[in-house]
Amino acid sequence: MSNPESVLLVLGVVGGTAWTEWSKARAAADAEAFGDALRDALDLGGPEDRREALASIPANPSQRAVLDLILATDPQENRDETLAALARLEADTRQPQSWRDLATLRRITVAGAELPVAERRAALDALAAPGRPFRPLALEQMAYLDIEEGQTEAALARLEALTQDQEAPAPLRSRAGQMIMVLGGEAPVPAAVPDVPAGEDGDEG
């Protein structure tokens, strides 16, 4: 360890470790500060006060995405700002695709008939692709678009498929079944529960 190369190597390792630890500590402090500011803003009384406080919180790109989602949760208070916040998140390619998908889904539902059916359907069709995290919700919204366009049979087929979709959460399957009844369809048969091989269900006997 007496040669200059070895000394530089040691300094590099030590310096890299110190930088990593400092970065972790700074990230933790930033996260704590962001959480405290978020809590304080949400504790404010009026919706406009909360919205103003939330919008003023310093945030990195990931934190900004969280803020935009929070700002977008109350369209009754400020619908234009809700849509603007969702559009910002939807267009931000730095953010995880799942957050952007959620923003797209939320924007479509908030905007409703303000957006042409073709535009809504195209966006939902992308979200409904296999493997996308909000696929069942997108399919549900597509069924509502079918209803809006008077395509009852298409809506029934889509809703019936959702009642059997194991990726769809139980409340969504329940809503789909209720909508089928409203549309005059037959009560859906509950989706079959996959068989559990013997010895894998924790039953000793």
Q: What is the pLDDT of residues 80-106, one digit of tens each?
A: 888 888 898 899 888 888 888 988 998
Q: How many domains does the chain have?
A: 2
Residue range 27-70, pLDDT digits in tens: 556 667 776 777 677 667 677 787 788 888 888 887 887 788 77
Residue range 102-146, pLDDT digits in tens: 889 989 988 999 999 999 999 999 999 999 989 999 999 999 999
The verdict on 89 and 128 lying in the same domain is no
Residue found by looking up tokens 């979709």 in the block: 165
Residue type, 115: L
Of the candidates 84, 76, 158, the one whose C-alpha atom is nearest the C-alpha of residue 124 is: 158
Last residue within a domain, chosen from 52, 81, 104: 104
Q: Does 205 fall in a domain?
A: no
Q: Does 160 fall in a domain?
A: yes
The whole-model pTM stands at 0.65
DSSP 8-state assignment for residue 133? T
The verdict on 53 and 78 lying in the same domain is yes
Of the candidates 138, 133, 129, 191, the one whose C-alpha atom is nearest the C-alpha of residue 160 is: 191
Q: Does 181 fall in a domain?
A: yes
Q: Does 3 fall in a domain?
A: no
Q: Does 19 fall in a domain?
A: no
Q: Does 93 fall in a domain?
A: yes
The verdict on 146 and 89 lying in the same domain is no
Domain region containing 173: 116-189
The verdict on 94 and 159 lying in the same domain is no
